[in-house]
A = this chain, B = another copy of it.
Amino acid sequence: MKIALSQLNYHIGNFTENIGKIRQAIAGAKNEGADLVVFAELAVCGYPPRDFLEFGDFIDRCHNAVSDIAVDCRGIAAVLGCPVPNADGSGKDLFNAALFLADGKVKFRYFKALLPNYDVFDEYRYFEPGRHFDLVEYKGRRIALTVCEDLWNIGGDPMYILNPMDELMKRSPDFIINIAASPFHYDQAGIRRKVLTDNVRKYKIPLFYVNHVGAQTELLFDGGSMVVGPDAQIRDELRFFDEDLKIFDLEEVLQNAGPAYEPEPHHKISLIHDALVMGIRNYFRKLGFSKAILGLSGGIDSAVTMVLAVRALGSENVWAILLPSTFSSDHSLKDAEDLAKNLGCRYNTIPISGSFDAIRHSLAPLFIDLPFDITEENLQARIRGVILMALSNKFGHILLNTSNKSEAAVGYGTLYGDMNGGLSVLGDVYKTQVHELARFMNLEEEVIPLNTILKPPSAELRPDQKDSDSLPEYEVLDPILYHYIELRKGPRDLVEMGYDLNLVRRVLWMVNNSEYKRHQTPPILRVSPKAFGMGRRMPIAARYLAI
């Protein structure tokens, strides 16, 4: 039996496009002699469809899509994911199903039993867990169909009280198919390989695995679909960050035949780079936009954001605006201009001092003699935000936000100012990682002016300001943030780890007291195991963990 794995970039709710891609892949696989073609979890509607699943109209369209696709499944079978109504009379309204299509119709349905409901996942919001464990037979082979999380309850500290594969093994399957929607973070490819090979090590039958690829707003899917032989060795992987289709001979896989496969080593920064480029590109395409605008300060965050945008959208589609104030240094303007020139992008300069003076003048009767403080710093950031949004509105560009994760964490940013944007590119990348990205981008030639990378970070909102006036050095700050945010270490844990009590107090105070700002932040491309946004849900009017 020849099995094709089809790794596609779906568009949530765009049934016409998704059905078209699936039908094209079925035709292509059939042409190349495949007997079976496997698509990803919830392929017909895209993942995650979120509260669309609560609309009867949406579920009807999923059903109709499967009917359309089934017509093509003659002389070839297909496995694909689709939400289906729960007809049991109790429980949630839907199942998250893997459908087996053959002879022009749905021949078998498996319902996902383990529903991830943590971090960015909300599946128990919509789905009832499946409780029946049967195999599908095809061309004399017995197949264990499973959906993503069904294989992930392996290893210590199990999150679920049952293992679907333990049940399915009682029926003696010949191999496993797992259709998945497993989002990227910088460590995920390694974790995924381990989880999948651990399953084969335990159950001793081969595994065919198909993941999503492409970005769905903040969630990035890296692909990396794979085949694991019965020896628990990966036989092959599909591409990362791109669509792909590959065909495998089941007999060869069962015999561990064929050339050896060695996964390419992945470097964290290179993965983050590729994921962010894909994230920008897909966000724009899926919203029907092609052009980006951003404020270029001469600092490293906007520089790295701009390089990523150019790689995602092309230099002709990225427009940089320089917004100097009286506190901007000369080198900032020059560094910004040099970058725009290096990239071959249009750039314009709009000084903000006239606007700053006018607004201060209107506030003067109320401010009277109160000293210049953070209000005036924020005011400059907000004027820049207003000007960028005016250009975005007038010319139809999406404004890219350039804040990094360290700033977002401690609230070192102005709401309705530099926190503006349709998409936050670096909001899940700590400042020290932004530096690594900049150096990575400059490996072959100096794209980002060296001065941008070397100078001390500054918001340039008052004379001689440095980030380190308000914040610990990023080399000190970022590890604390990582332990608090990614690893959920509390203040007592941090002090036990050896961090200074007052430093912990100060950093956690800053993080906790800027929850209200992060509530209004643009969607953030997720590259870490714990990003701000849908995967981290904190109350606002609360008293936070503190010592």
Residues of A within 8 A of B (CB): 11-14, 17, 46, 48-52, 54-58, 60, 88-92, 117-118, 122, 124-125, 128, 158-161, 215-217, 282-283, 286-287, 348, 350-352, 354-355, 357-359, 361-363, 365-367, 370, 373-375, 378-379, 382-383, 385-387, 389-391, 393-394, 415-416, 420, 422, 488-493, 516, 519-523, 534, 536-545
Contact = CB atoms under 8 A, between A and B. Distances in A.
A215 B52 contact: no
B355 A536 contact: no
B55 A545 contact: yes
A544 B13 contact: yes
Contacts of A55: 488-490, 545
A416 B390 CA distance: 11
A456 B12 CA distance: 39
29 contacts: A11-B543, A13-B539, A13-B543, A51-B538, A52-B538, A54-B488, A57-B491, A57-B492, A57-B545, A89-B158, A90-B161, A92-B159, A117-B117, A124-B124, A216-B541, A217-B540, A286-B541, A286-B543, A287-B516, A287-B541, A358-B358, A359-B386, A363-B390, A370-B394, A382-B385, A385-B416, A386-B416, A416-B416, A516-B523
Contact of A354 (B362, B488, B540): B362
Nearest to A388: B416
Given A13-B539, A355-B359, 12 more contacts: A55-B489, A60-B490, A91-B158, A117-B122, A117-B124, A122-B122, A216-B541, A382-B389, A416-B416, A516-B523, A519-B523, A520-B521
Contacts of A492: 57
A416 B419 CA distance: 10
Given A359-B355, A387-B362, A390-B359, A11 B542 contact: yes
Which 7 residue pairs are nearest across A and B when measured between Cβ atoms?
A57-B490, A358-B358, A12-B542, A14-B543, A286-B541, A375-B393, A13-B543
B13 A493 contact: no
Given A350-B363, A370-B394, A57 B538 contact: no
Q: Which of A88, A363, A542 has the most CB of B within 10 A?
A: A542
Contacts of A519: 522-523
A473 B329 CA distance: 52
A541 B386 contact: no
A216 B539 contact: yes
A492 to B, nearest CB: 6
B359 A387 contact: yes
Q: Which of A14, A370, A387 has the most CB of B within 10 A?
A: A387
A57 B493 contact: yes
A386 B365 CA distance: 16
Contact of A391 (B92, B366, B382, B537): B366
Contact of A545 (B11, B46, B52, B354): B52
